[in-house]
Amino acid sequence: MNKTADDETGRRKRSGVHAIENHQREVRVGIRPLEEFLKRTSREIGLRPDCAAVRLIGDAEMARLNEKYRKKRGPTDVLSFPAEEQSRPGSLGRQVRRYKGKFLGDIAIAPRVARRNARESARPLLQELCVLILHGLLHLLGYDHETDQGEMERIEMRLRRRLGIA
């Protein structure tokens, strides 16, 4: 998930771009609530509000990216593309200090997969998309739930409670 990418996900050339762009038509998604969530989450964590760009993409594009960067078939719900190489993360505070003021990277989300996940978890799609934005931000900060013995999950659950998306 944490592979560096070129302009595959529409990364802007200049840093500091705050945007959520919808590049899919499979699922109707309101962008403004997601932008507000990204701003609020960035503030809560201690990052600047334009720390990441989020692109909503279709399942076909997500499957292609998932195959290319993770060598896994089919679409996934979220992929993160850090703007710079990452080292092993420390505490959340240390990570925030390390990346404060920087553009972290891009987050790609597949709303159709998110909708399936939301139904399975019995939560609204908007809440699931917010969870995925938070999850993507933590990956951009260097966390990896596949290798960190639950550290990312603990941080994510604490932030979900603070942000009201538990």
Quick one: pLDDT at residue 87?
73
Give the three-state DSSP class for 139.
Answer: helix
1 in any annotated domain: no
2 in any annotated domain: no
97 in any annotated domain: yes
Q: What is the pTM of this model?
A: 0.87
For residue range 4-60, what is the model confidence (pLDDT) as tens digits?
Answer: 344 444 443 334 444 899 999 999 999 999 999 999 999 999 998 889 999 999 999
47 in any annotated domain: yes
Give me the CATH number covering residue 33.
3.40.390.30
22 in any annotated domain: yes
Quick one: pLDDT at residue 86?
79
Full residue range of the structural domain in which residue 40 is found: 7-163
b/e map 118-147, b = 16+ CB within 10 Å: beeeeeebbbbbbbbbbbbbbbbbbbbbee
Total domain count, the chain? 1
